[in-house]
């Protein structure tokens, strides 16, 4: 049979498309690691992956337009997971009595951080240089870090410990330094010097906006060239009374955001659209396949019982079948989702439960014909019981119908989920192709037209059509192979 499938052109095209989507569903999430629902990514902690409504990252290379800029990730190895990356911070300066070293035994999340040991008052500064290659200012920039404080004497009241950051241009602080007066972030620690949980500070850009009336990104990044980013920890307390405090610094992230990102850009909530598309492939596969198996299973059981048992059982089952057939499917789907709730499991149950009626009638008709055949009568005469006949003779003869119907039911399940999600009734716990379209519908950008943001609207629609087409082609091919009336001679 497999040889016949591969010889069929429809089946070959369908299988190629299906395998391609299958590989994306299996391996895609290992590469698209950003969160598809909540803004934030692995390399930049809690910060978004890009600016809101960023263009695809390849626009710059494809068009040659210098107006498209990409993200610049300033800090190498933000989590300090590798001690060798510490040397990439081009300048570490301290006063005497302050030691800056790499600590491989502790950290925020993963082990590895910077340890600053204060035996005297003074400052410890980490500085890193980076190139800004664009002639236009970035859309925004943001920085965050995590820290922890330890001291030998836990009973002493808090001392003065301040963290602040600044930028300089062309490695010369006299040439261009921000801000002009005072630190960008000036946060005095008021801890009782007990071990404090790691936590993240607020955005540098947000703090700058409190000091400047203009956009801080346009003030700092006025020209292309080499910039310096500094983090200074200043301790002005009594080191002896405090028990020689230690300051641990980790997850230092600075991102200068461009207006383009990734393969498909970002949505109105600064989430990676390519990640959403990849995750949506797996979700559509699961919903389509499981719903189809559920509906075909229900239809097979109902059709077998109604056709073989007959009588009052057949009448009751078929009248229930007819009742569900005449009820409009989409309104019933909406009502059931409202009642059960918007979860992936409920969507599968609802779509599967409302897709079995036609197959049940087909199975019933086939069983009514099969049970009157002479070989069934011979099995009965030989003492074969009802369940034996159904298991050994009826089901094997209706299996071709199962293959074909299963392949033809999956597209309907995928489209049903997409329709519910587009209406805002899809699963809230996952990102599906239909939900991507719903997010665009509710983003406020529909007035400009779907093709203006084609990288947001076209890919999920094309994926829905292609995945559905693959199952339809395979279904038609199986029908040609297994149906004697359509079999090519």
pLDDT in tens, the chain (489 residues): 556 666 778 888 888 999 999 999 999 888 887 888 887 776 666 678 888 889 998 888 777 777 889 998 888 788 888 777 676 675 676 777 888 888 888 777 778 888 888 888 888 888 888 888 888 888 887 777 777 777 666 544 444 666 666 777 765 443 333 332 333 333 333 333 222 223 333 344 455 555 555 566 777 787 888 888 888 887 777 666 666 778 888 878 788 888 999 899 999 888 999 999 999 999 888 888 899 899 989 988 888 888 888 888 888 988 888 888 888 877 888 888 888 888 888 888 888 888 888 888 888 888 888 877 777 778 777 777 777 777 777 788 787 778 778 888 888 888 888 888 888 888 888 899 999 999 998 888 877 777 888 999 999 999 999 999 988 888 888 777 766 555 554
Nearest to residue 247, comparing CAs of 264, 225, 231? 231
CA dist 419 and 351 (Å) reads 11
CA dist 487 and 465 (Å) reads 27
Q: Are 122 and 98 in contact (CB under 8 A)?
A: yes
Query: Could you give the 3-state DSSP secondary structure of residue 176?
Result: coil
Q: Are 127 and 269 in contact (CB under 8 A)?
A: no
Residue 445: per-residue pLDDT: 80
- DSSP-derived secondary structure letter, 157: P
Beta bridge partners of 250: 146
Nearest to residue 103, comparing CAs of 94, 117, 114, 90? 114
Beta bridge partners of 148: 248
Q: Is residue 166 classed exposed, middle or buried when 0-12, 13-18 and 19+ CB atoms within 10 A define those classes?
A: buried
Q: Is residue 267 classed exposed, middle or buried when 0-12, 13-18 and 19+ CB atoms within 10 A define those classes?
A: buried
Q: How many other C-beta atoms can be found within 10 angstroms of the C-beta atom of residue 331?
A: 9
CA dist 106 and 373 (Å) reads 76
Provide long-range contacts, Cβ within 8 A and 24+ apart, for 396-400: 397/366, 397/370, 398/300, 398/303, 398/304, 398/363, 398/366, 398/367, 398/370, 400/478, 400/482, 400/483
Pairing of the two strands 246-257 and 177-178 = unpaired
Q: Are 416 and 333 in contact (CB under 8 A)?
A: yes
Q: Is residue 11 classed exposed, middle or buried when 0-12, 13-18 and 19+ CB atoms within 10 A define those classes?
A: buried
Q: Could you tell me the domains of the chain?
A: 43-71+260-266 (no CATH), 73-257 (2.60.120.260), 273-482 (1.10.3720.10)
Say how far residue 435 (Cα) sits from the centre of its chain. Answer: 12
Nearest to residue 229, comparing CAs of 433, 94, 72? 72
* Model confidence, pTM: 0.79
Type and span of the H or E element at 92: strand 91-94
Residue 178: per-residue pLDDT: 39
Type and span of the H or E element at 72: strand 72-73
Beta bridge partners of 103: 113
What totals of helices (H) and strands (E) does the chain contain, helices first?
16, 14
């Amino acid at each position: 049979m497999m040889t016949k499938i591969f010889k069929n052109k429809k089946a070959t095209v369908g299988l190629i498309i299906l395998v391609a989507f299958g590989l994306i569903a299996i391996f895609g999430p290992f590469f698209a690691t950003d969160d598809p629902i909540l803004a934030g990514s692995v390399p930049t902690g809690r910060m978004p992956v890009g600016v809101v409504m960023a263009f695809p990252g390849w626009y710059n290379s494809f068009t040659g337009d210098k107006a498209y800029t990409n993200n610049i990730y300033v800090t190498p190895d933000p989590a300090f997971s590798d001690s060798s990356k510490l040397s990439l911070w081009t300048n570490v300066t301290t006063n005497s009595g302050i030691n800056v070293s790499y600590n491989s035994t502790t950290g925020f999340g993963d082990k590895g951080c910077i340890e600053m040991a204060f035996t005297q008052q003074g400052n410890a500064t980490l500085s890193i240089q980076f190139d800004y290659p664009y002639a236009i200012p970035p859309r925004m920039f943001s920085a965050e870090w995590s820290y922890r404080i330890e001291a030998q004497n836990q009973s002493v009241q808090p001392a003065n410990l301040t963290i602040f950051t600044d930028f300089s241009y062309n490695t010369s602080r006299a040439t261009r330094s921000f801000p002009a007066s005072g630190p960008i972030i000036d946060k005095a620690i008021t801890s009782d010097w007990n071990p404090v949980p790691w936590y993240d500070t607020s955005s540098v850009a947000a703090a700058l906006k409190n000091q400047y009336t203009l956009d801080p990104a346009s003030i700092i990044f006025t020209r292309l060239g080499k910039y310096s980013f500094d983090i200074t920890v200043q301790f002005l307390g009594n080191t002896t009374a405090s028990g020689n405090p230690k300051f641990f610094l980790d997850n230092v992230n600075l991102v200068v955001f461009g207006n383009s990102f990734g393969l498909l850009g970002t949505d109105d909530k600064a989430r990676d659209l390519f990640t959403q598309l990849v995750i949506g492939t797996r979700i559509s596969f699961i919903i389509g396949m499981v719903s189809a198996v559920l509906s075909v299973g229900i239809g097979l059981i109902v059709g077998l019982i109604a056709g073989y048992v007959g009588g009052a059982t057949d009448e009751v089952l078929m009248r229930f079948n007819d009742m569900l057939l005449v009820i409009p499917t989409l309104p019933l789907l909406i009502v059931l989702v409202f009642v059960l709730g918007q979860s992936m499991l409920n969507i599968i149950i609802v779509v599967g439960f409302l897709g079995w009626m036609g197959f049940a009638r087909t199975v019933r008709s086939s069983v009514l014909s099969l049970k009157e055949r002479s070989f069934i009568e011979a099995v009965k005469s030989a003492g074969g019981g009802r369940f034996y006949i159904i298991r050994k003779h009826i089901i094997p003869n209706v299996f071709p119908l199962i293959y074909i119907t299963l392949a033809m039911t999956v597209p309907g399940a995928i489209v049903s989920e997409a329709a519910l999600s587009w209406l805002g009734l899809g699963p809230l716990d996952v990102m599906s192709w239909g939900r991507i379209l719903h997010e665009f519908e509710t983003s406020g950008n529909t007035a400009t037209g779907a093709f203006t943001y084609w990288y947001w609207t076209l890919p999920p629609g094309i994926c829905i059509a292609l995945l559905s087409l693959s199952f339809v082609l395979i279904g038609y091919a199986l029908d040609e192979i297994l149906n004697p009336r359509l079999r090519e001679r």
